[in-house]
Each structure stands twice: as C-alpha cells, then as structure tokens.
C-alpha cells in the first residue's frame, strides 16, 4: 500500500486548478465523485464502510480529502466528510469554507450535515442516497433547513449507480 499523501503534497499536486471550476457542471461533478470513489476504496481496504469525500475551493483546488476511518481509528466521528473538512480547514487555516464544494459518495448523515452547515460549505455533491440516515434530502434535510443560519446548494445522485454498487458490494461481502 502506498504511503498516504500529506495535505500539502496533495494541495501542491492539485493546485493547477482552473478559473473555470464550476461545481454545477455535470462533468465537474462526475470527476469529483470519481475521486471520491477512489477514496472510498481506501476505506474498504481498511475494513471500513467505503465512503470517500473531497473538499474543493472555489477555484477548483483540492483542499482536503477523506475516507471513513471509524474502524481504523476507533473514532465514531471518523466519517469521510468530517475527515475531508478537517483537512481542508487545516490547509486553509480557517474553519470557514464558504467558497468550497464538498463531494461525497454517500448522502451525508446528520452529524456530517451539521458539520457542513457549520463550516459554511457552499455546495454539496453526493452519489448514493442514504434512505436510513441521510440528512441531505432523504430522511432529513439539514443542509437546507430554513431555521438554520446557513443553507447549502445540493446536487444529489451523481454517479449514483456506481456509488450504491460499491456500498452494496461491501455489505454483501460482510454477510457471507
């Protein structure tokens, strides 16, 4: 297994970002979810639920990546989104990520949706819906809750079949 990338190395490698970064573009969304699928595979290699996330600045620069690490780190908050947000905040030197987009393979849960709102993420792109614990439009809609002080633009179902298949395969293997 290759050594994990440091946030600084990944930031340098990905800093050839384009001024034309548009999180509403279908091509951009598909590309971001593709990166998340790769990160999710890392979580699965560690015996964790395969979920991957990436935080991208307004200019397209990758600020943070994450995968689930609950099992590896024995951390109930070790969700892909939390890990990506933490890394992005560290790289940026601020918890406020107001111009950023977060992409993730699975609809964020209530904990992650709360962290997304509190970090002021502008846009969330996700793959598979989570009909049991989703908090971005399925069970709850924390990201667009009108009583909160920040609302997030949500783009669901990007590469949904691939994201859902990765999760189904993981859980099917556990039942054998």
Residue 79 — φ and ψ, nearest 5°?
A: -90, 155
Q: What is the DSSP letter of 133?
A: T
Is 100 known to sit in a ligand binding site? no
Name 62's bridge partners. 56
Question: Residue 73's CB: how many other CB atoms inside 10 A?
Answer: 13
Q: What is the DSSP letter of 141?
A: B
Is 112 known to sit in a ligand binding site? yes
Question: Residue 162's CB: how many other CB atoms inside 10 A?
Answer: 16
Active-site choice (81, 87, 107, 162):
81
Is 155 known to sit in a ligand binding site? no
For this structure, is 5 an active site residue? no
- Binding site members for Zn(2+): 79, 109, 112
Catalytic residue annotation: 81
Q: Which amino acids are annotated as binding site, given as ranges?
A: 79, 109, 112
């Amino acid at each position: 297994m290759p050594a994990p990338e440091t946030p600084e190395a990944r930031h340098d490698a990905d800093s050839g970002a384009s001024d034309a970064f548009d999180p509403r573009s279908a091509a951009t969304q598909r590309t971001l979810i593709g990166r998340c699928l790769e990160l999710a595979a890392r979580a699965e290699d560690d015996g964790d639920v395969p979920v991957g996330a990436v935080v991208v600045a307004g200019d397209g620069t990758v600020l943070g990546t994450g995968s689930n690490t609950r099992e590896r780190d024995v951390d109930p908050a070790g969700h892909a989104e939390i890990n990506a947000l933490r890394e992005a905040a560290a790289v940026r030197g601020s918890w406020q990520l107001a111009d950023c987009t977060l992409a993730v393979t699975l609809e964020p849960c209530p904990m992650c949706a709360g962290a997304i709102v509190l970090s002021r993420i502008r846009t969330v792109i996700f793959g598979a819906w989570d009909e049991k614990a989703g908090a971005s439009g399925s069970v709850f809609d924390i990201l667009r809750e009108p009583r909160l002080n920040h609302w997030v633009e949500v783009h669901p179902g990007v590469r949904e079949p691939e994201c859902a298949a990765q999760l189904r395969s993981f859980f099917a293997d556990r039942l054998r």
